[in-house]
Amino acid sequence: MKTSAGFDLLAALAVLSLNGAAGEKKNLHPVVKIGEMGTAEGTYGHTAWTNRKYQKFIDIPYGSTSYEGRFLPPKPPEPFDETYNAYTSDVPCPSLKNLDDILSYGDLVDYEDCLHLTISTPNRSASLPVMVYLAGYDLDDTENEDAEPDYLLEKDIVLVSVQYRGGPFGFLSTLGDEMPGNVGVMDVILALQFINKMIKYFGGDEKRVTLFGQYKNAALVHILTMTPFVEKDALFQRVIYQSGSALMSGLTTRDPAKYVKEMGKHIGCKDYEDIAAVTKCLKTCEVASILYAYRDMKREHGNIPWFSIGGPVKVLPDEPRVLLEKGTFYPYPAMGGVVKHAAMGTGQLDNTEKIYHNFIEEFEKSLQKCAKNDQQRAIMSKEFPSKVFSRTMLTAIWPGVVDLHSLDVKESTSTALVYNSNKENSYLYAFNYLGQFNRLQKSIDEDVADVSLTDDNLYLFPFRPGAGSLSKDDSHMAKIMVDLWTSFACDGVPDSPLIIGKWSPMIKGKVGPYMKLDTVPEVGFYYPDEFFTSVLDTRQGFTLD
Rounded to 10°, the helix 216-223/183-198 angle is 70
CA 123, 186, 132: angle at the middle one, nearest 5?
25
Q: What is the pLDDT of residue 13?
A: 44
Task: Classify residue 377 as left (phi > 0), alpha (psi -120 to 50) or beta.
Answer: alpha
Rounded to 10°, the helix 374-388/352-367 angle is 150
DSSP 8-class letter at 122: S
- Tens digits of residue pLDDT in 195-226: 999 999 999 999 999 999 999 999 999 999 99
Report the alpha-carbon distance of residue 381 to residue 383 in Å, rounded. 6
Report the alpha-carbon distance of residue 269 to residue 282 in Å, rounded. 8
CA nearest 87: which of 151, 48, 39? Answer: 39
DSSP 8-class letter at 148: -
Q: What is the pLDDT of residue 202?
A: 99
- Segments in the chain below pLDDT 50: 3-25, 442-448
Q: CB 86: neighbour CB atoms within 10 A?
A: 29
CA 156, 160, 164: angle at the middle one, nearest 5?
170
CA nearest 436: which of 470, 408, 409? Answer: 470
User: Side-chain half-sphere of 324: how many Cα atoms within 13 Å?
Assistant: 23
Report the alpha-carbon distance of residue 240 to residue 204 in Å, rounded. 19
Q: What is the pLDDT of residue 353?
A: 61
67 and 102 in contact (C-beta within 8 Å)?
no
Report the alpha-carbon distance of residue 220 to residue 226 in Å, rounded. 10
- Tens digits of residue pLDDT in 72-97: 999 999 999 999 999 999 989 999 99
Q: What is the pLDDT of residue 294?
A: 97
- Look at residue 274 and give its three-state secondary structure: coil
User: Side-chain half-sphere of 287: how many Cα atoms within 13 Å?
Assistant: 31
User: SS3 letters for 468-488?
Assistant: CCCCHHHHHHHHHHHHHHHHH
**Burial class of residue 273, CB neighbours in 10 A (0-12, 13-18, 19+):** exposed
DSSP 8-class letter at 144: G
Report the alpha-carbon distance of residue 479 to residue 154 in Å, rounded. 9
- Going from N- to C-terminal start, the domains of the chain cover 9-252+309-332, 257-301, 352-539
- Tell me which CATH code domain 9-252+309-332 carries: 3.40.50.1820
Per-residue CA distances from 296 to 96, 290, 499 (Å): 11, 10, 47
Question: What stretches of 285-351 show up as alpha helix (H) in DSSP?
Answer: 287-301, 320-326
Q: What is the pLDDT of residue 14?
A: 41
Amino acid making up residue 39: T
CA nearest 265: which of 286, 296, 288, 287? Answer: 296
